[in-house]
Structures are given as structure tokens and as C-alpha cells.
Amino acid sequence: MTSLLVSVLEAAFVVLVVLVILFIAYGLSLRATKAVTKSSGEKRRPFACGELLRPSETGVPDASIYWAVWKKLFRSFYNTVRDKVHTGILNDWLFWMFIFMVVLVIIFVVVIK
Amino acid sequence: MRLLELLFETIVYPGALFLSVAVWLTQWYYRKLCARMQNRMGPSYTGPFGILQPIADYLKLFFKEDVSIEGSSPKLATVLLSVAIGSVVALTLMLPIAPWPIMASYDVMLAMYLLVWPTIALALIGVLTPNPFSAIGSSRLFSMTLAYEVAFVASILTPVVLASSFYGAEYSLYLSCLKAWELWFNPLTAVSMALSLLSALLALQCKILAKPFDIPDAETEIVAGPFTEYSGFKLALIFGLHDVEVVVGSLLITMLFFGGPVPFAQLPWYVALIVTVVEYLIVIAIITWIRTITGRFRVDQALALFWKYVLPIATIALIASVIISQVL
């Protein structure tokens, strides 16, 4: 049996061959469609719902798309933590931070050991 | 010599040519079966029984104009999609259908890496185009990746771990495929195999973005998600990547959990071939059946399903397999 590094190189060679084949096909496709391609005008502008988009409208803020899903998924967990644990008293917060630090120290000690 | 073998495998069998034929026939079967389950006819007019319809679709895209929107990166998108297709082809060469396979001890790590590439490519091509639908589709895909890729990896690792400890497969995907089917005959390992098979099927359903997990390209909400601004050859590459994923993902499950032709090696070769094809078609039929009977989940529902049920099932199967392999 060959080494893992050789297998990785063999897989990379396969990927490279496929990349070359598909780029040749891409070139052939571009040549075949050259007669009908007019890559200018409105069809190259960004549209959504029939309206031309301003540059600021073409993206979505990260906070709206990446975190929204997770916030929604863990909403019940957040609610429970907020209602049961969060009291608004500074001493309670210090207590939880102390517990957190103790857990971290235990983890580090176990890992270092 | 080895390079020539790899070149033959990549271009002819089980690489580009074989996968093209497999994609063509699988897509026809997939569409026809889905249509019959929904009381429709499915492809009917292009060739006998509509069998040439998938080829007609690809040819149409090949000759259609490839519009690149201002501010996008068309060449980078082509590179990403080509590398992703290449990684799936490389994965095919690690399965027991390859005459001169790519294999090494612990090469399951390489297989996991190759499996993740299609998802990365599909998510990144959405970010490469300036369109809010593409951005939302990509974000959904990234969010779902954290759920189903972990479950898929865990469910693929279970038979590999068990085959390595019981039959000395050395964490090689090829050797695990040759031996893992025997695990069904041991009551202790059969439970782990059944749980990981269940989670692998559901994770594959999500990986190929079939209903109820077609959330990133939900056409009624966000047009086509990450693929909204793509047309012509690049859209053909996107469909090609999806179809190759269906074929190779189903082949992987067929080979890893049921051994493909290996259990029937004593019988004539055509019997082993027919049994393998039937197993493969059953996996495709299960995917089609789930796709047909379900409606689309919201992204939080899909994530909840994976985090609360599928991932724990896959993790329990993996932990059980590790414990069994250490104890027995």
C-alpha cells in the first residue's frame, strides 16, 4: 500500500486532469456561442425583482444572513439562559465567570497533563 | 506507468467517460421515477422513453450564451466548479470499482476532504456574484454545511472504524468497502451500521440539495440561490457537479455499506454486476422517494433536524463503533 502523501498527490493529479478537460470544454463552449454572445448592455447589470440594483443593494449584511439562522435555531436556549440564569446582579455574573474560569483551568490542566 | 493508469482512470473508467454515462442514465431514472411517484409522465419525447433528455439539457446549456454579470468573477467560478468535479472524480478512484485504485492507510481523511469540496465550491460561487439572492443562498448553504457535513463524515467513519479494527482495513476507504459489508452479520456492529446508514442517507439527501433540503436554491423564495446569476456553460457545470455528486454519493453508500460486487465475488461476474446496480438503484430510489413525499423545510427546521436527531444518531453510532472496536 502506498503512503498517504502519494495518495494525496495522485488525487491532486486527477483533479488537475479534470480541470484541464473542463477548461478545454469551456473554451469550446465560448467559441461555439461567440456568434450569439453580446456581453454588454443591461443583461450584464445586476437586477432583482425586475429592478436595477444599486451597488449597495447587491449584498446582504453578514449579521443579517449568517447569524440570523443560528439565533433563531438556539432561541429557546437563549431564552432559557436569559430567564433562568440572568438576574442583572453583578455578583451573579462574577460567579458564572468564576465557574467558567475554573472549567477552563481544569481543561488546560487535563490537556497539558 | 502509474501516471498512465491514473490518466486512463480519470478520462475513461471510472472517471469522466464512465461518470458521464452514469450521470445520464441516473438522471433519467431519477426524473422518471420522481415523475411516476407524482403521477406525471416525466421525460417522454427526447429519444425512446425520454432517455436522451438529460443529454439534450446539457447540450442546450453548452450552446447557450454565458452571461457574466458586472462585478462577478466568472473564471474563478469555473475553476472552483471544475476542482469540485475533479475532487468527486478522484473520490470515485478510491472506490472498489477502480481497476488501479488510489489507496493508502488512513486515506479516509483524503476522502473526507474530497467530499467537502463540492459544498465549498457551490457556496463560494454564490458569493462571487453581486446579487442578494446569491448571498442569501450561499449563507444558507454555509449554515447547513455545519450540520450535514459533520453528520455525513461521522456516518462514513463508522464502517471504516469497524472494518479497520475487525478486518485490518487500516482506515483505507478501498479496504473498508471490501470488508464493511461483513459487519452486518455481527449483531453488535449491525446496530452501528444501521444507524450510520440512516444518517448517511439523510446527510446525502441534504448534500445533493434534494427536497426537503433544497433550502439554498429555493426557487419560490430566492430565485435559484447561489446559482441565480449563472447561465450557459457554468450552469452546466453546476448541474454536472450536482449530478456527479448524486452518482458518487450513492455509489459510496452502496460500496461502503453493502460492499457492491464484493459479497458476490464467487458468483459469475454479471450476477455481481446486476446486484451492485440494483443496490445502487435502490439507494437512488430512496433519495427520490424522500424528495417526492416531502416539502421544503425552513433553514432553521433543517438545522434543528440535523443537530437534534441526525448528528446525535451518527455520533452515537461512531462512539459505539469505537467502544466495540476497543472492547471486542
Listed range (A17-21, B69-73, B294-298) with the worst mean pLDDT: B69-73
pLDDT at A36: 65
Cell of B197: 446508514
B170 contacts on A by Cβ (under 8 Å): 1
A58 touches chain B (CB under 8 A): yes
CB atoms inside a 10 Å sphere around CB B25: 15
A43 touches chain B (CB under 8 A): yes
- Left (φ > 0), alpha (ψ -120 to 50) or beta: where does B144 sit? alpha
Query: Shortest Cα distance from B40 to chain A (angstroms)?
Result: 31
pLDDT at residue A80 tops 70: yes
Question: What are the grid coordinates assigned to A68, written together?
Answer: 440570523
Q: What is the mean pLDDT of residues B139-153?
A: 86
Nearest to A31 by CA among B62, B114, B249, B264: B62
pLDDT of residue B35: 93
Residue A44 pLDDT > 90: no
pTM (2 d.p.): 0.86
Minimum-distance CB partner of B104 among A4, A23, A66: A4
- Cβ separation A23–B16 shorter than 8 A: no
A60 touches chain B (CB under 8 A): yes
The predicted structure's pLDDT at residue A112? 67
Nearest to B92 by CA among B250, B207, B236: B250
B24: amino acid identity, one letter = W
Q: Looking at this protein, which amino acid is placed at residue B107?
A: D
How does DSSP assign A80-113, residue by residue? HHHHHT--S-HHHHHHHHHHHHHHHHHHHHHHH-
The pLDDT of residue B179 is 86
Residue-level pLDDT at B201 = 92
Per DSSP, what are the bridge partners of residue A47? A52
- Which of A20, A26, A74 best tests the B interface by mutation, with the highest count of B CBs <10 A? A26
List, in order, residues 6 or more apart from B36 with CB less than 8 Å away: B42
SS3 assignment, position B263 = helix
> Tens digit of pLDDT for each residue in B52-69?
999 999 999 888 888 888
- The grid cell for B242 is 450536482
Averaged pLDDT for residues B23-40: 93
Report whether pLDDT(A62) > 80: no
User: 3-class DSSP state for residue B50?
Assistant: helix
| Residues 85-144 in B contacting A (C-alpha not used; CB under 8 Å) | 85-87, 89-90, 93-94, 102-107, 109-110, 114, 130-133, 135-136, 139-140, 142-143
Containing H/E element for A51?
strand A51-52
> Which pLDDT belongs to residue A37?
63
Distance CA B165, CA B170 (A): 8
Cβ neighbours around B185 below 10 Å, total: 8
The Cα–Cα gap between A106 and A113 comes to 10
Distances B264 to A47, A80, B99, B221 between C-alpha atoms, Å: 56, 55, 17, 48
**Residue A65 — pLDDT band, cuts 50, 70, 90?**
low
Q: Which residue in chain A is spatially nearest to B230 when comparing CA positions?
A: A44
B248 vs A88: CA distance, rounded Å: 54
| Domain spans, chain A | 1-38, 60-113
Name all contacts of B261-267 with Cβ < 8 Å and 24+ positions apart. Answer: B261/B96, B262/B96, B262/B177, B262/B178, B262/B181, B263/B181
Distance CA B95, CA B100 (A): 10
Give the pLDDT band of residue A21 (cuts 50, 70, 90).
Answer: very high
Query: Residue B87 is placed in which grid cell?
Result: 475532487
Q: In A, which residues are within 8 Å of B303 by CB distance?
A: 69, 73
Burial class (CB in 10 A: 0-12, 13-18, 19+), B269: exposed
Distance CA B200, CA B110 (A): 18
Q: What's the whole-number mean pLDDT along residues B71-100?
A: 90
Contacts (Cβ under 8 Å, ≥6 apart) of B198 = B313
Confidence at B181, pLDDT banded by 50, 70, 90: confident
pLDDT at A39: 64
What was the pLDDT predicted at A81? 81
Helix (H, G, I), strand (E, B) or coil at B103: coil
Q: What element of type H or E holds A18?
A: helix A4-32
Task: Choose the closest CB to B114 out of A11, A44, A55.
Answer: A11
Among B132, B177, B185, smallest CA distance to B159 is for: B177
- Between CA B151 and CA B308 the distance in angstroms is 11
- ipTM score of the complex? 0.90
Cα–Cα distance for residue pair A20/A12, rounded to 1 Å: 12
Give the pLDDT confidence of B218-261 residue by residue, as tens digits: 888 888 888 888 888 899 999 999 999 999 999 999 999 988 88
| pLDDT value at A51 more than 70 | yes
Residues of chain B above pLDDT 90, percent? 40
| B13 touches A at CB < 8 Å | no
Quick one: average pLDDT of B22-26? 94
